[in-house]
Every structure is written in structure tokens, then in C-alpha cells.
């Protein structure tokens, strides 16, 4: 096959090779090596689509990306094979439709202005799909750039959506430059425009980090997870429960006893970290497990510890009521230095699957205790951190330190921590995230790391850090998702104009045919 008129003939296999390469890059987009794939995969996929008939490009993107994403999902999302490939098909369908729209509306050999269509479409699509998806912003292209602190600063202005726009615009400009490679001056001007915008973004990020001082007074914090032999019996019981095993009275007693050993260790380690100077202590999500009737006793002991040691204790507790249809209450309780409960927060967004089916969801308002003496303290739990809107409401204003207990698994260790870190940069608060089977981290409102702990690389799963607590002003906190909304609306307007223009051309062509004299 060949490209459009005026271009050199391309080998027939090259676009298909680009398709496979783009799909391969997409499989790396959730890994720690995602930085370069985030830039290249869109360019490769768009090259394939631009060199094919529209529907060939659509089907190719749909099939290959369903396969690639489905294979990745087998490790990322615990669940059935059919369910994982079903989610992959849904994501690939939206992607293929966006590329098809670009092919039909803009197409090869378009003007430089046409390079803006696909980034606007993808940005709007990401925003609006995140609003309706039970997985929130999971899979956003912007997350691939978590390894570039300079680029990440852009989300303090635009949220995820500006970063997604720039990445897709790069893909669009690269293909535009290739299609017009025989027009050197025109290509240089267009590439210079993109390079100028990217240069401004990089300069902004570099300057923001260079001028960033301390965001507030440093506070000694500690995150605690109990694992290993002491937790083995409890973990076996949880696994059996999640897999649908039947529990009798004796099973529940054994489970409560195994869980009690973990809870004792959590209290012991909390005491130890308080003695070592920690002012704020956080347990990882669901690391403490109790039957509902035992919860008051555990809270009483946590209260006594906080009062005696004059610390803030974030007790992440999963309480189970075996007789209830929704047996799980996944909760974060903040105990103050006076032993009182500062606030209680129930996980607002349980993970789709077993947790969502068995949990009592809580309010989507982040609790914030103001003037706590160590900053304004707020809390959320794990999956809540994948929803930017969760931290944009009036209740979250003034939040200076987010306590975010989490529970991950090996396949998402890197990507899930990175996603949470974006929330800190968007809103400008510091964050202590303690993960069970994941990556724990203490970061400030610029995304700078003050402490990090990989659950799978150490036996002492206690994170210690001197974390500055305060708030960094961000434009995103004021304008919210405006960039994503404008992108989506611009795409709809562009599509509408293209439809009207197409109908007008057909109407004029029909009129000319009717006006021609008959033979």
C-alpha cells in the first residue's frame, strides 16, 4: 500500500509493525518503565490508522489492544478471564472510536490545526469515562509520566487532562510531520509550535520545583504494616473468605484469634514508633481485622495508646459482621493525643468485585480535622485515591496532610502508588500512604518523596519519614477539571461541524448534478 499522493511508497508491513509496537508499548504503560511508552504508543497506533482505510484501522486497533490490555489485566485485576477481557474490550473500543473519528474528521495530510482534534478527543474521553467508570481514572495516559517530576507539575494546573492532551498531541504532530515531510518549511513551523508549548511546560515544572521550599513544619511520621508468619493464619482465613468459603462458628473463632495476633503486633509496633518520636502513626488498609463485636475493645486500646504517648494514631480497621448481608466495614479511625476520636471515615469506593459486593460504602466527603497542631489532617482509603473529584469538594479545602492507608498486590505495586501521588500534586497537600502488599510513600504537595518502602523488599514493613506538612496553592484546586471539560466540548463541536460541513458538500454536489444539462 502507499501513503497519500506526493509521498513515497511505504513497505506494506510497516503500518502493521507499528500497530504491534504500539500495543506492546501499551502493555508497559502501567509499569515502572512507562515514561517512554507514554510518548511512543500513541504515535505508533496513529501511524497505523492513518495508513489504512478507516474501518481497517478501527478493527485493527480494537482487536490488538483488546488482546494486549486483556493480557495485562490478568495480573492487574483479580477476577475471571472473561471479565478482564471484557474490560479490555471496553477500553479498546473507546480508543478505536477516537482514532476512527480522527481518521474520518481530520485524516492524513490535514492542516496543523487538525493535530488538535485527537488530543482533545482523548482528553475529553478520559474525563467523561472516569466520571462513569467504577475504576475512576485508572488507565489514564497521564499516569505514565509519574517518573518525570518536572512534567508531573503540570497537573497542579490542569489535572491529569493537560498531561494527557500533551502526550496525544505529540503523537498527532509526529504523524502530521511525517505526512507533510515533503514540505520542509511548513513542518518546521508546526514542530516549532509544539516544541515551544512543551518547552514552556517543562520550564514551568522545573521552575516550580527549583523554587519549592519547605511546604511546612516537618513532622515525624510512621506507617505500619504487619506481615510474615504472625499474619499467615489471618491471611489464609481472608483468602478463604474472599473465595467464597463457608465459615462455621469454630472457623470464625479461629479467624478472630489469628486476627488478634496481628492486631497485638500493630499496637506493639505503634508503641515502639511512638517511643522513637513519631507524632503521626498510620496502619495500612485492613491490616487490623476484627469481628464487629470486638471493635470497641480494639479502639479503646488504640485510644489509650494515643493518649499515653501523645500521638495521632490512624487505625485502619476492617470489621466483619458475619450475619450481615454486607459484612465488611472498611474504616479509618483517627485517635487524637487526648485519646478521643477525631474522626471516623468509611471507605467511599470499595473496589469492584468481592469488596464492593460485601462492603458498606461511606460518604465521599473527606474528613478534615483543622488546627490539629500537626497540620489539618484528613483521610481516605486506597481506591478512593483514584478519583480526583473525591478531594476537590468543599470539605477537603485546607487539607494539609492526607492519611491514605492502602492494600495492593504485587502486579499494581508501582502504578497504584504513582496514581495516588498525583492527588497530592493536584491539590497541593502532603500525603502519607501506608500499603499492605504494595509501595508505601511519604510525599509533599510537589510530589517530592521523603520516605519510601517496598513491601516485597523488606521484612520490617515500617515506613519512617520526616514529612513537611502544609499546603501548596494550585490552580487545579480552583478550576478543577475545566481543561478536560473544554476538550470534550471542543471535540463535540468539531464533530458537529464536520457532520454539517459534510452534509453541505453533499447537498452542493447533488445540486450541481441536477443542474447539469441532460445529453
Q: Which residues contact 37 (CB under 8 A, 6 or more apart)?
A: 25, 26, 28, 29, 144
Conformation bin of residue 222: beta by default, left when phi > 0, alpha when psi is -120 to 50: beta
pLDDT the model gives residue 518? 59
Could you tell me the three cell numbers for 452? Answer: 519510601
User: CB within 8 A of 446, min separation 6: which ones?
Assistant: 149, 153, 208, 209, 212, 215, 425, 472
pLDDT at 123 exceeding the cut of 90: yes
Q: Examine the pLDDT at 271 and tell me if it is beyond 90.
A: yes
78 has a pLDDT exceeding 90 = no
Percentage of the chain modeled with pLDDT above 90: 75
Q: If you average pLDDT over every residue of the chain, what do you get?
A: 92
Higher pLDDT, 380 or 510: 380
Q: Is the pLDDT of residue 519 over 80?
A: no
What's phi and psi for 225, nearest 5 deg?
Answer: -135, 135
Q: Is 496 exposed, middle or buried (0-12, 13-18, 19+ CB in 10 A)?
A: exposed
Q: What is the mean pLDDT of residues 297-324?
A: 96
Tell me which residue of 124, 122, 102 sits closest to 114, measured CA to CA: 102
State the cell numbers at 175.
504523524
Is the pLDDT at 5 greater than 50? The verdict is: no
Q: Average pLDDT, stretch 77-87?
A: 82
- Would you place residue 390 in the very low, low, confident or very high pLDDT band (cuts 50, 70, 90)? very high
Is the pLDDT reported for residue 413 higher than 90?
no
19 contacts 44 by C-beta, under 8 angstroms:
yes
Q: CA 268, CA 305: separation in Å to the nearest integer? A: 10
pLDDT of residue 3 exceeding 60: no
CB-based contacts of 227: which residues, under 8 Å, 6+ apart? 436, 437, 455, 461
The full DSSP string for 281-301 is EEEPTT-EEEEGGGHHHHHHH
Residue 474 pLDDT exceeds 50:
yes
pLDDT > 70 in the chain, percent:
98
The confidence score (pLDDT) of residue 6 equals 42
State the DSSP code for 225. Answer: -
Q: Measured between alpha carbons, how far is 122 from 49 in angstroms, rounded to an integer?
A: 15
Tell me what pLDDT residue 502 has.
Answer: 82
- Per-residue pLDDT reduced to its tens digit, 227-252: 998 988 888 988 888 888 888 889 89
What pLDDT is recorded for position 353?
Answer: 87
Q: How far apart are CA 76 and CA 353, in angstroms?
A: 13
Residue 1 in this model has a pLDDT that exceeds 60:
no
CB–CB of 156/426 below 8 Å? yes
- Which of the pair, 225 or 241, is modelled with greater confidence? 225
Q: Say how far apart CA 499 and CA 105 lie, in whole Å.
A: 9
pTM for this entry = 0.92
* Gap between the Cα atoms of 381 and 95, Å rounded: 30
Rounded to whole angstroms, how far apart are CA atoms 344 and 333?
4
pLDDT tens readout for residues 342-354:
999 999 999 988 8
Please answer whether residues 101 and 114 qualify as being in contact, where contact means their C-beta atoms are separated by less than 8 angstroms. Answer: no
- Does pLDDT of 7 surpass 80? no
Cα–Cα distance for residue pair 171/266, rounded to 1 Å: 49
Is pLDDT of 2 > 80?
no
Amino acid at each position: 500500500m502507499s501513503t497519500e499522493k506526493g509521498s513515497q511508497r511505504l513497505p506494506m508491513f510497516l503500518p502493521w509493525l507499528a500497530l504491534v509496537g504500539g500495543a506492546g508499548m501499551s502493555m508497559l504503560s502501567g509499569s515502572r518503565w512507562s515514561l517512554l511508552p507514554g510518548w511512543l504508543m500513541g504515535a505508533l497506533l496513529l501511524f497505523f490508522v492513518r495508513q489504512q482505510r478507516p474501518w481497517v484501522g478501527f478493527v485493527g486497533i480494537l482487536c490488538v489492544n483488546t488482546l494486549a490490555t486483556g493480557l495485562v489485566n490478568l495480573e492487574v485485576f483479580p477476577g475471571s478471564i472473561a471479565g478482564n477481557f471484557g474490560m479490555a474490550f471496553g477500553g479498546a473500543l473507546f480508543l478505536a472510536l477516537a482514532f476512527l473519528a480522527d481518521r474520518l474528521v481530520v485524516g492524513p495530510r490535514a492542516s496543523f490545526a487538525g493535530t488538535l482534534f485527537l488530543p482533545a478527543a482523548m482528553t475529553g474521553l478520559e474525563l467523561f469515562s472516569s466520571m462513569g467508570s467504577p475504576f475512576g481514572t485508572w488507565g489514564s495516559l497521564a499516569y505514565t509520566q509519574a517518573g518525570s517530576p518536572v512534567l508531573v507539575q503540570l497537573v497542579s494546573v490542569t489535572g491529569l487532562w493537560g498531561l494527557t492532551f500533551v502526550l496525544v498531541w505529540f503523537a498527532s504532530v509526529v504523524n502530521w510531520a511525517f505526512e507533510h515531510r515533503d514540505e520542509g518549511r511548513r513542518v518546521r513551523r508546526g514542530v516549532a509550535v509544539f516544541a515551544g508549548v512543551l518547552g514552556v511546560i517543562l520550564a514551568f515544572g522545573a521552575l516550580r520545583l527549583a523554587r519549592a521550599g519547605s511546604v511546612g513544619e516537618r513532622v515525624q511520621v510512621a506507617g505500619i504494616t504487619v506481615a510474615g508468619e504472625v499474619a499467615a493464619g489471618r491471611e489464609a482465613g481472608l483468602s478463604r473468605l474472599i473465595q467464597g468459603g463457608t465459615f462455621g462458628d469454630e472457623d470464625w473463632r479461629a479467624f478472630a484469634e489469628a486476627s488478634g495476633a496481628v492486631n497485638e503486633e500493630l499496637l506493639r509496633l505503634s508503641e515502639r514508633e511512638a517511643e522513637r518520636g513519631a507524632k503521626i502513626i498510620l496502619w495500612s488498609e485492613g491490616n487490623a481485622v476484627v469481628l464487629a463485636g470486638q471493635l470497641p475493645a480494639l479502639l479503646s486500646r488504640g485510644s489509650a495508646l494515643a493518649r499515653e504517648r501523645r500521638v495521632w494514631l490512624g487505625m485502619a480497621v476492617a470489621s466483619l459482621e458475619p450475619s450481615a448481608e454486607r459484612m465488611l466495614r472498611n474504616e479509618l479511625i483517627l485517635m487524637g493525643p487526648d485519646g478521643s476520636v477525631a474522626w471516623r471515615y468509611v471507605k467511599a469506593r470499595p473496589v469492584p468485585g468481592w469488596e464492593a459486593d460485601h462492603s458498606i460504602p461511606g460518604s465521599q466527603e473527606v474528613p478534615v480535622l483543622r488546627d490539629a497542631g500537626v497540620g489539618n489532617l484528613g483521610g481516605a482509603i486506597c481506591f478512593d485515591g483514584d478519583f480526583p473529584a473525591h478531594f476537590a469538594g468543599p470539605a477537603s479545602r485546607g487539607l494539609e496532610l492526607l492519611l491514605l492507608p492502602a492494600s495492593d498486590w504485587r502486579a499494581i505495586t508501582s502504578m497504584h502508588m504513582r496514581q495516588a501521588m498525583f492527588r497530592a500534586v493536584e491539590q497541593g497537600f502532603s500525603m502519607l500512604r501506608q500499603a499492605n502488599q504494595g509501595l508505601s510513600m511519604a510525599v509533599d504537595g510537589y510530589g517530592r518523596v521523603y520516605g519510601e518502602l517496598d513491601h516485597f523488599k523488606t521484612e520490617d514493613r515500617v515506613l519512617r519519614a520526616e514529612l513537611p506538612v502544609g499546603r501548596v496553592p494550585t490552580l487545579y484546586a480552583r478550576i478543577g477539571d475545566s481543561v478536560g471539560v473544554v476538550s470534550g466540548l471542543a471535540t463535540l463541536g468539531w464533530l458537529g461541524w464536520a457532520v454539517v460541513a459534510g452534509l453541505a458538500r453533499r447537498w452542493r454536489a447533488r445540486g450541481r448534478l441536477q443542474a447539469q444539462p441532460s445529453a
